[in-house]
Structure 1
């Protein structure tokens, strides 16, 4: 049976390390990775949380980057197309392909590459970790769970957590002042107030873990 692992990879040889070092608060969420050449992938990255001017200056000086192009600018975040160079000392995509794994989420920060991946089985995960060690990458696993767990969101939310969060947002539960109560949400979903409270708290915890505190282990 497949398994899903949440982990962080650290190494100064990772692509974009110098660029992020120029803007330590920056987080780069990988929207897509195009790997026609596995050693030189093209990354589409949503940048947020840091100094954009400092980050772009860092991209110019980063030897792991061949080219970069801003594609979208929104309040608080920007989308970049980044071509990784041969100078990047640790590109993990070939290892992904080697063990036939599927990358579900990835984000670069000053602390490393935060990733959620699906592996064919635990043996594949062990081989992946061994391969990372061989190329000088430190892999810190935060969580491992079976691949049949119902996770349908990029933020690690279950379907039921998505349902109650969406209902809470649409109904005004997060507004100040609130326009509905927790018992109202529970009644709408035909569950107990206690179940609604637990489901809502776990959903919010998963969102915080995946965004504000990407190293925080979720409690689902």
Structure 2
């Protein structure tokens, strides 16, 4: 079963973190990421800095960088395209060797928050071992399975259950005070108010079972003591 891990990596522990060195108060978000060995150009946004030109020049001077181009700028966000030698980055090499998928990456002055999807807990364990051997400072945070594999992309909910639950939430059925009644929902969907109640009950059970319960079971499987490793 696949597993998603939220990781914290020290910026000085990997090549891209050293390349995209930012001052206090700024943050970087990678917009798209390139698998090891491909030559496509990744994009990243930097937020909260008034020195984009100085930042660009510092990045350009790094030996692993071929080119950096400013794509656009709006308010406190500047989008760059970066052409760099990803094969020099040991962190990305570890991601490639363990067949993990990089879902998101946000960098700060000291650390990067990275979200990876692994094929199994064993793959995550292999990645941790790789990082330890490569002297990459890594802290593993939350670990979970997004859904049960058999639940599909909508957590096992049927189309009717999804429509009714979404309408109930957006219409204020669960607000205090309640802005939408069971009868209101029944009239909209052309069913009885008892059928609405039952449909909502089944939807909530399926949603919790295939998300929260699945995540708890995955955490216990990875570490029965409940500790984050």
| Bucket of the pairwise TM-score, normalised by the shorter protein | 0.5 to 0.7
Distance 1:159 1:72 in 2: 41
2:107 is paired with a residue of what secondary structure?
A: strand
3-state SS in 2 of match to 1:34: coil
Matches within 5 A, 1:90-129: 90-129=89-128
CA deviation profile, 1:200-219 (whole Å, cap 9, x unmatched): xxxxxxxxxxxxxxxxxxxx
Shift of 1:68: 1.2
Extract unaligned runs of 5+ from structure 1. 153-157, 174-179, 200-220
Higher helix share: 2
Give the C-alpha shift of residue 98 in structure 1. 0.8
SS at match of 1:9: strand
For the aligned residues, what is the CA RMSD?
Answer: 4.0
CA distance in 2, matches of 1:122, 1:186: 44
* Residues matched between the structures, number: 176
The answer as to whether partners of 2:36 and 2:93 remain within 8 angstroms in 1 is: no
**TM-score, with structure 1 as normaliser:** 0.61
Contact 1:41 1:84 in 2 (8 A): no
After superposing the two structures, state which structure 1 stretch, 125-134 or 107-116, moved more. 107-116
* Higher strand fraction (1 or 2): 1
Alignment check: 8 A CA contact 1:72 1:80 kept: yes
Shift, 1:37, TM fit: 3.0
Decide which structure has the larger Cα Rg and report it: 2
Instruction: Tell me by how many angstroms 1:125 deviates.
Output: 0.3
* 1:133-148 superposed matches below 5 A: 133-148=132-147
Alignment pair present for 1:72 and 2:72: yes
Give the Cα–Cα distance (whole angstroms) in 1 for the partners of residues 32 and 20 of structure 2. Answer: 19
CA distance in 1, matches of 2:35, 2:79: 18
CA contact (8 A) 1:20 1:110 kept: yes
